[in-house]
Chain A
Amino acid sequence: MRVDPILRLIVTRLSLAFVSLFAVSLIIFSSIAILPGDTAERILGRDATKQSLEALRAELHLSDPAPLRYGRWLAGVVHGDFGRSLVADRPVLPYIGAYLGRTLVLGGLALLVHIPLSIGLGLLAAAKRDGPFDIGMSIAVLIGMSVPEFVTGIFLVLWLANDLHLFPPLALIDQAQSMGSALLMLALPVMTLNFAMTAYVVRQIRSSMIDILRSDYVRMAALRGLPPSRILLAHALPNALGPAINAIALNASWLVGGIVVVEVVFNYPGLGRLLVESIRFRDVPMVQGAALVLSATYISVNLVADLLTLLINPKLRTRTA
């Protein structure tokens, strides 16, 4: 029986995803249980008395054995109830929705710039191989990648916001009164993120393109008299995209959970910040919820990347069949 390879890929990945999500939740729960301190201490702070700590612990059921607490949480999740935040004393889900929403807006904008920018730069570098543009750009993107994001971010704030007054320094999008000003507020974080992300994809594209441009079919196309731009874009590029898509997928997953430093520099309340704050408060339901969303994003982004690779590369598609 012949099963459509794409369907099979999706089904296998999704069933694996459930297993990994369960494993992730177990690992997270046990790691938080191992960490010193508990939510009551975090909430009440240094001035807490023993009496008020005990009262809060009882209220939050923190004294129950860990397996019981985990079981209770898991039972809730199975019924679609992700629980209440211990710290906020409110359901977890709306928070995750709101923070994830903002993360997706910023991440989406960053990707919209990232994809054309890095592919374009990679193409140009390969086309003008070893020329001054190629060398200059390679150095530039490598510097962008090696400098930590908070340095890039603060530098951009000092220069473009405080000195040149081109952009507001903080991404306080609630203050924006129009789409334009919201975009301006997100401009600096988007730039900062692109500084960090570009190098890997550019280098990926550049090296695959250089290999491909040496191949027989490209030489053939050139001999047939096709214009160089057509060879580059229509014949060579699709074959170079495969590895680049995986690199972009990696960046996309990073944008969802790993950009807490950028969120802090620009005061943008995204999912990364929620996660770090919640870990600090040992807020298990919130951490679990956020981490599950992150893992799910990671899994789906990679699934999409693999599907895309298959779709643009017929050779791979038939081989899996």
Chain B
Amino acid sequence: MSDIKKLGLSRRTLLASAAVLGGSAFLPLGEVNASTATKTLRIASGEADGVKGTLDPAYGTNDPDAARANLVFEGLVKLDENFGVQPSLATDWKTNEDGSVWTFHLRPNVKFHDGSPFTAADVIFSFRRLFDPKAPSPSAAWLAPINPDAIKASDDLTVEFNLRQPVVEFPELIAYSKIVKAGQTNEQLRTAGIGTGAFKVEHFVPGEEPSTYLRHDQYWQPGKPGVDRVELRTVPEESARIAALVSGQIDIFWDLPLRGLTRLEQDKNIVLQSAHTGFWLGITAWTDTPPFDNLKVRQALKLAVNREQLLKAVLGGRGSLGNDSPVAPWVKFGLQAPQREQDIEQAKKLLAEAGHPNGIDLELYTSASGSGLVELATAYKAQAEPAGIRIKINQAPAEDYWSNIWLKKPFIVTAWSGKSADAALARPFLSDAEWNETHWHNKEFDNYIFEARRTLDETKRGELYRKAQELVRDDGGAIVALFSDAVGATRANVKGWKLHPQKLSQSFVDVTIEG
């Protein structure tokens, strides 16, 4: 309780108001950060978390939560830019013949923030708490193959997961699960959790900004981290993010708008970065509902899209063309195939063959709940018109789009964050998927996925995912129109930071500040 008061109306702010009366001296700008030898890195997320923010990696739901967790905790493994698995707290791992038992060797000589050593007991604790029946972590849903009671430590630095069913990509599955020091309560982990990450919590009160972090002196990577202190805050307003960078109030943003960046491009004090992501925007239709139950109608809808034009109109050119597969071509197992082009004549012909010689009238739902969703609908409406596809746009309230429109209306604009090939295919397209937004039930597709999940050989697995993607592309109800780029920026004196294509996976371990 008192920690909020401390931060809220401090003596400093009170004095500030008193100083107006006194007519205080006019002090120069740029004094922040200059006076001490402590190197503070000021980073900001574009998503506001308000009072619901948490440090506990088991319950984080938003971008600032992920940033906090990435500063303070680490996983056994981590994902690189192409969703490839890289070692982190585990140095290497192996599995049995069918992928049902996974053994991880843990990195020796890793210390928690309180100086205690990292061991297998911490791994077991961290995974078991995700399945607490009273307060399950949202991640328990996709970690369901883990049997929490069958995680065993053969010695201090070896952990064995005995899964309920084989999972050949198990390391990918647990890449977001962070390891916390065993024995901490939920309330401790909410605001002051102890991990092995490069930074330890200095101060964090949910709903109060900024949260601050100090260098972990016993961090296992020698010479890291490169800064002494990190300040994390949120700047939800897009124009404010740009202004804060230009004026030097913030050092790093990883979530900049895709348009209106000219000012940053021209500023020599700022370095822009962009990265391909697997985040896709598109339009989905229920394949069991007329007129979309007719394959020819779905094909016509896909052929009516002018993707090049959409890229400019929706993403300001910062992205790449989708090819109706939810796996981006640069993601591991992504489909490599010729780009699908707009073909109005063919679309018309298909519509006529499907029994709509005079075209069809459709109602498309969209909302401002995500960047570009409304622009996508507007641009597609214009593109599809010449093919006889007459679209009426219904712009729903942004607030409730994902709870009231998504999965509840037959023809909608949608967006999915980037995922590994399996997750990108399985979560929206498996017949019994909870988020089957196209009502697509294709046994052949399901079998490809299930078989891929049993196939340890990577080449064979890639072949199965390729066939699954071709099916989605040719038969499914989704127009995967665009993949968005991520855009971030640093002040020019900030070195060593690389924008991760996944918003939730930013790392600040290697960052240094010059000057």
Contacts and interface: CB of A to CB of B under 8 A. Distances in A.
A222 B24 CA distance: 40
B48 interface: yes
A102 to B, nearest CB: 7
Contacts of B26: 180
Interface stretch (A171-179, A195-203, A213-221, A239-247): A171-179
Contacts of B27: 178, 180-181, 184
B29 A98 contact: no
Contact of B12 (A43, A95, A179, A264): A179
B337 interface: no
B113 to A, nearest CB: 23
B52 interface: yes
A222 to B, nearest CB: 35
A258 interface: no
A130 interface: no
Interface string B46-69: 001011100000000110000000
Contacts of A170: 235, 240, 243-244, 247, 249
Given A52-B138, A59-B135, A186-B16, A178 B239 contact: no
B1 to A, nearest CB: 5
Nearest to A91: B1
A265 B242 CA distance: 11
Nearest to B407: A46
B21 interface: yes
B162 to A, nearest CB: 23
Nearest to A163: B246
Nearest to B417: A47
Contacts of A180: 19, 24-27
A47 B66 CA distance: 15
Contact of B1 (A36, A94, A176): A94
Q: Interface on chain A toward B: helix, strand, loop, or mixed SS?
A: helix
A301 interface: no
Contacts of B133: 55
Interface stretch (B206-214, B323-331, B495-503): B206-214
A90 interface: yes
B491 interface: no
Interface string A25-43: 0000000000011000101
Contacts of B149: none
Contacts of B18: 179
B4 interface: yes
Interface in A143-159: 154, 157-158
Given A59-B135, A184-B29, A281-B52, A45 B13 contact: no
Contact of B240 (A45, A167, A169): A169
A160 to B, nearest CB: 11
A109 to B, nearest CB: 6
A154 B61 contact: no
A37 B403 contact: yes
Interface residues of B, number: 65
B37 interface: no
A112 interface: yes
B406 interface: yes
A228 interface: no
A37 B206 CA distance: 23
Contact of A101 (B8, B140, B206, B406): B8
Given A162-B243, A265-B237, A174 B4 contact: no
Contact of A265 (B14, B17, B239, B246): B239
B240 A266 contact: yes
Contacts of B61: 43-45, 47
A47 B433 CA distance: 12
Given A43-B61, A87-B50, A94 B5 contact: yes
Contacts of B24: 179-180, 183
Given A46-B406, A101-B9, A169-B249, A177 B35 contact: yes
Given A37-B403, A99-B8, A264-B237, A161 B16 contact: no
A76 interface: no
Contacts of B29: 165, 167-168, 181, 184
Interface in B250-287: 263
B48 A168 contact: no
B19 A94 contact: no
A172 B40 CA distance: 15
Contact of A52 (B7, B8, B21, B141): B141
A37 B25 contact: no
A16 interface: no
B381 to A, nearest CB: 25
A63 B272 CA distance: 48
Contacts of A23: none
Nearest to B369: A46
Given A52-B136, A101-B9, A179 B19 contact: yes
A97 interface: yes
B399 to A, nearest CB: 7
A168 B17 contact: no
20 contacts: A36-B403, A37-B403, A46-B403, A50-B434, A88-B207, A91-B1, A108-B17, A109-B20, A169-B243, A169-B244, A169-B246, A174-B209, A180-B19, A181-B32, A183-B16, A183-B20, A184-B29, A264-B236, A264-B240, A265-B237
Interface of A: 36-37, 41, 43-52, 55, 59, 85, 87-91, 94-95, 97-99, 101-102, 104-105, 108-109, 112, 154, 157-158, 161-162, 165, 167-170, 172-184, 186, 264-267, 269, 274, 277-278, 280-281, 283, 286
The 6 closest A-B pairs by CB, nearest first: A98-B8, A101-B9, A180-B27, A169-B243, A88-B51, A182-B16
Given A43-B61, A94-B8, A99-B8, 11 more contacts: A46-B403, A55-B136, A90-B51, A97-B5, A102-B8, A179-B15, A179-B16, A179-B19, A181-B32, A182-B13, A184-B29
